[in-house]
Chains A and B, each alone.
Chain A
Amino acid sequence: MRLVKHLAILLLFLQAGSAWADDAIGYIKSAEGTTLVTRDAETMPITLGDPVFVADLLIVKGSGSMGITFIDNSQLSMGSGSQLKLTSFEFVPKEEKLSFVTELLKGTLLYVSGVIAKLSPDSVSVVTPVATLSVRGTKFLVRVDD
C-alpha cells in the first residue's frame, strides 16, 4: 500500500514536470501589422492567441506592434521594426529554477516585470547591443537605435 502511494506521488511529479517541458511560456495578447516569429530556423506569422516558446525570435516587420503576457505575469510589448529574442525562461519555484533573459536586437520595448523578477531579481535581464539591463522591477522602456 505504501509503495502504491509512493508511486502515485512519483507519477504526480512526472506529470507536472512534463507539462512544464512542452508548455508555452506566454501568449500573444495584442498584435498590429506584420508580426512574425523565427522558431527552429523557420520564420512564420504569429498572431493573437498564439503561444511563444524559449528561443523564439519575435519580429514586428515595418509598422506595427505586438504584446505578450508570460506565465509569470510579465508583459512585454514591442513597437515598429522591433526584434526580440526570448533567450531563457525558467519558472519552477518549487525547484528554485527562475530566470528570464530577453534580447532586444532593435526597436522599442515596454517591459512590465512579473513573478520571476519578484522571486529572483538577479536572474532577470534585458540584453541589448549597447548595454545590459538588470531588472529590479517593474515597468520600463527601451529603445535600441544604433
Chain B
Amino acid sequence: MAPELRAIRPWLAALTLLVLSACAPNNLFVLLEDDNGKVGSIQVENDAGAQTLNQAGQATGLDRAGQEPVEPFVLEEDEIRDVFGEVLDAQPEPPVTFLLYFRTGTSELTDESQALIPEILRTIDGRETPPRIAVVGHTDTVGAASVNASLSLERARTVRDLLLRQALDPEMVELTSHGEGNPLIPTADETSEPRNRRVEVTIR
C-alpha cells in the first residue's frame, strides 16, 4: 500500500464508522416479524415527538435525549444482526402450549384431550433447559363469573393431578386459573363456547 494511503487508513475507518452511525441513531428501536410470521406495531414517543413502526425491519431512533424520534427507515437483516445478533441469539426456546378441553360445566376431560397427556410428557422431556409447567384453568362465559372462577380452578387441578401421577416433580408445576376472564375465543356473556372450556398446559 502506498505510504499516503496508509496514512489516511485510520481516517477511512473513522469515516466508515461515522457513516454507519449516521445510518443508525445511538438509541434505536426496530420492529421485527414474530416467530409466527406476524408483525405487530410499536409507538416510540417522547416530549419532542412520536413515531409508529408497523412493518418488519422498520426502525426509528434518536441520538440524544430531548431529540425527536426520526422518520421511520428500513434496516436490512444483516444490519440488524450487526447491532443485535447477540441479543437475538439469547432468546430462550419459545413456550409450547397444549389445550385440553372439558365437558360443559364439569371438570371431566374430553377423550381426545385425555389422549394428549403422553405427548405433553414427551415435550417436557425434550426441552433444552429444565422447564416450568403452568397449568391454567379457563371457562366459557355461561354462568356466574364467581362459579366459573372456581370451576376453572377445579379443571386446572384435574390436569395437574393427572400430570403428577406420571411422576412429574411437583416443584415444576404451577397451578392457576383465569375463570372466564381470558377466553381463547372472545364472546358475549352467557355464551357456550367449547374452545373456551379449557386448561392450558404451557411448557416454558
| Chain A residues close to B by CB (< 8 Å) | 9, 12-13, 16, 19-20, 23, 27, 29-30, 32, 48-49, 65-69, 71, 73, 75, 77-80, 82, 92-96, 108-110, 112-113, 115, 119, 128-146
What CA separation (Å) do A12 and B177 show in the bound complex? Answer: 11
Closest to A95 in B: B181
Across-interface contacts of B145 in A (CB, < 8 A): 94
Interchain CB contact under 8 A, A139 and B35 = yes
Interchain CB contact under 8 A, B179 and A94 = yes
Interchain CB contact under 8 A, A93 and B90 = no
The 3 A-B residue pairs whose C-beta atoms are closest, nearest first, are A137-B40, A29-B92, A94-B179
Interchain CB contact under 8 A, B182 and A119 = yes
Hey, what's the 0/1 contact readout for B1-41 against A, CB within 8 Å counting as 1?
00000000000000000000000001111111111001111
Closest to B202 in A: A73
Q: Which one, A65, A71, A94, A129, contacts B181 given CB within 8 A?
A: A94
Q: Which one, A9, A66, A95, contacts B150 given CB within 8 A?
A: A9
Closest to B95 in A: A73
Interchain CB contact under 8 A, A134 and B26 = no
What CA separation (Å) do A108 and B92 show in the bound complex? Answer: 16
Residues A13 and B149 in contact in the complex (CB < 8 Å), given A136-B43, A138-B34, A142-B28: yes
Chain B: minimal CB distance from A97 (Å) = 9
Closest to B145 in A: A94
Q: Which one, B45, B92, B202, contacts A132 given CB within 8 A?
A: B45
Across-interface contacts of A49 in B (CB, < 8 A): 129-130
| Chain B residues close to A by CB (< 8 Å) | 26-35, 38-46, 53, 61-62, 64-65, 67, 69, 80, 83-84, 86-95, 97, 129-130, 132, 134, 145-146, 149-150, 152-153, 174-182, 202, 204
Residues A110 and B29 in contact in the complex (CB < 8 Å), given A135-B42, A136-B41: no
Q: Which one, B40, B84, B179, contacts A138 given CB within 8 A?
A: B40
Closest to B85 in A: A79
Across-interface contacts of B87 in A (CB, < 8 A): 65, 77-79, 82, 108-110, 141
25 contacts between A and B (CB under 8 A): A9-B150, A19-B174, A20-B176, A27-B132, A30-B90, A49-B130, A65-B86, A66-B90, A71-B174, A94-B179, A108-B83, A109-B87, A110-B87, A113-B40, A119-B182, A129-B65, A130-B46, A131-B62, A135-B42, A136-B42, A137-B38, A137-B41, A138-B38, A141-B32, A143-B83
What CA separation (Å) do A129 and B150 show in the bound complex? Answer: 43
Closest to A20 in B: B176
Interchain CB contact under 8 A, A130 and B65 = yes
Across-interface contacts of A92 in B (CB, < 8 A): 178
Interchain CB contact under 8 A, A133 and B149 = no
Interchain CB contact under 8 A, B86 and A80 = yes
Q: Which one, A48, A113, A140, contacts B30 given CB within 8 A?
A: A140
Across-interface contacts of B33 in A (CB, < 8 A): 139
